[in-house]
Amino acid sequence: MVPLTPDPEILESAARELGPKAAVTFLVGDDAVTYSVADKTIRVDAAPADSPVVVRLSRQAWADLVGQVRTAINLLLSNELAFERGGFEQLADWDPILRYLHAGVPPYHPARADFSGRDPAATFTLDTDDAELAAQLRTMGYLHVKSVFSADEMRTANHEVDRLAAQARPGDDESWWVTTGDGAQALCRLVYATLRSPALAALEHDPRVRRLGTLIDHALRAAPDRMEGSAVLLKVPGKTSGLSNIPWHQDCGMGGHAIMCPAVSVGIQLTGSDSSNGNLQVVPGSHGQAIHYRWEQRLDRVPVVSIDTAPGDVTVHIQDLMHASPEPTGAGGRRTMYVTHYPPALFDHVGPGQAFNDLVRNRVIAAPVVSAE
């Protein structure tokens, strides 16, 4: 755990949301740790208890959970959580305050966001100076920069995407697929795309992309050979089963917050986007905070911005910003190439071909092994 003098107001708010009898016990080998609501705060005891939620896990899994290397949902999908009482949804209720106690990441609340008089719907161009762009990105967690690339550049990129899409096959380890309403498989994402396309690699290394991806930290850099490299999202119309229409999430939702945040994703808009083809939606000012996975049912007055773009525009978002890619209301077809820039620590811990999303896609590759340094 990180050294932390907890904010009593945050603990009291969590206790109120969890309820007076809430408690969770983690059984780690012969040891136990219990978190419980007591006297309007959160109490931590190094002992077992008759908790509504009791979960057993290995010492390594516990270390990963506390160290923000892997999240509870990651451990669940890895079959590393054994519930002796209660279930995952009850554990998830504790997740935001556990992240605060373990790593100092506060639970999200809309009142905590300070927009400093800035407009969440503001747009910019490359003529805007870096200081202003960085200030907006740090405040909101995202940017919308217009007309970064020309129509010809986007036309060339789309031709390359067409070529890669024609070569993609389910199970090729280079793509994501979904099942459509009529039972057919449809391509929804190309991963490690720049390793197979010099034209897309040129975009990945373009000075404009580098500039926007390093606004808040010049040490960040792209990772073409790990973390799924630079990926191209292709929105499939209609209802699908799979990972095309992604609900509200943070990109570190599977783990890695301690080593990958604040990574920055640069989204090159190969096509325009609006609700008809499934645009990007964001919660301004939600980065750097822990958000309950059922926050829509729990919080009122949460600001949501839908970002409509034109071909050649660029969106930029900090990876732990709460965001979504909803189902298209119309024909679909949105294409966005994401080039994510990571801190140097990620390259020390995540090797070529490894990604936290491997678990989501049910690939055989194990989760990255991260040292405890």
Written as six digits, the tokens of 229 are: 């490299």
Q: So what's the pLDDT on residue 142?
A: 98
Whether residues 146 and 265 share a domain: the answer is yes
Whether residues 190 and 338 share a domain: the answer is yes
Whether residues 37 and 117 share a domain: the answer is no
Are 222 and 213 spatial neighbours (Cβ–Cβ below 8 Å)? yes
Other residues' Cβ atoms within 10 Å of the Cβ of residue 271? 18
Within the chain, which residues score under 50 in pLDDT? Answer: 2-3, 362-373
DSSP string, 18-80: H-TT-EEEEEETTEEEEEEEETTEEEEESS----SEEEEE-HHHHHHHHTTSB-HHHHHHTT-
270: CATH: 2.60.120.620
Dist CA 7 CA 114 (whole Å): 18
Are 312 and 269 spatial neighbours (Cβ–Cβ below 8 Å)? yes
Tell me the HSE value of 139 on the side-chain side, using a 13 A CA sphere. Answer: 16
Written as six digits, the tokens of 88 are: 């995952």
- Beta-strand relationship, 240-241 and 280-282: unpaired
- Beta-strand relationship, 142-145 and 82-85: unpaired
Looking at 103, 124, 142, the residue that finishes a domain is 103
Whether residues 194 and 52 share a domain: the answer is no
Is residue 245 exposed (0-12), middle (13-18) or buried (19+ Cβ within 10 Å)?
A: buried
Residue type, 178: V
| Rg over CA atoms, the chain | 21
Residues 6+ apart with CB under 8 A from 167: none
Is residue 183 one of the residues assigned to a domain? yes
Is residue 41 one of the residues assigned to a domain? yes
Q: Encode pLDDT of 231-277 as tens digits.
A: 999 999 888 888 788 888 898 888 888 888 899 999 999 999 999 99
Are 291 and 250 spatial neighbours (Cβ–Cβ below 8 Å)? yes
Whether residues 98 and 114 share a domain: the answer is no
| CA distances (Å), origin 205, targets 34, 166, 212, 224, 339 | 48, 24, 12, 10, 9
Other residues' Cβ atoms within 10 Å of the Cβ of residue 164? 17
* DSSP code for 153: H
Whether residues 92 and 128 share a domain: the answer is no
Whether residues 295 and 316 share a domain: the answer is yes
Is residue 3 one of the residues assigned to a domain? no
Dist CA 334 CA 355 (whole Å): 24
Domain count, the chain: 2
Domain that holds residue 353: 110-358
Whether residues 303 and 171 share a domain: the answer is yes
Q: Which residues of 346-356 are buried (b: 16+ CB within 10 A; e: fewer)?
A: bbebbeeebbb
Is residue 371 one of the residues assigned to a domain? no
Whether residues 120 and 246 share a domain: the answer is yes
Are 294 and 95 spatial neighbours (Cβ–Cβ below 8 Å)? no
In degrees and rounded to multiples of 5, residue 257 shows phi and psi of: -55, -40
Dist CA 330 CA 338 (whole Å): 23
Max intra-chain CA distance, the chain: 65
Is residue 353 one of the residues assigned to a domain? yes
Whether residues 347 and 211 share a domain: the answer is yes
Whether residues 83 and 125 share a domain: the answer is no
Is residue 86 one of the residues assigned to a domain? yes
Q: Encode pLDDT of 315-367 as tens digits.
A: 999 999 999 998 999 988 999 999 999 999 999 989 999 987 775 554 333 33
Is residue 367 one of the residues assigned to a domain? no
47: CATH: 3.30.1050.10
Q: For the chain, percent helix, then strand, then coil, each to nearest 5? A: 30, 25, 45
Looking at 45, 73, 103, the residue that finishes a domain is 103
Looking at 70, 103, 136, the residue that finishes a domain is 103
Whether residues 283 and 139 share a domain: the answer is yes
Is residue 2 one of the residues assigned to a domain? no
- Beta-strand relationship, 142-145 and 314-318: antiparallel
| CA distances (Å), origin 180, targets 167, 233, 335, 358 | 20, 16, 18, 22
Residue type, 91: L
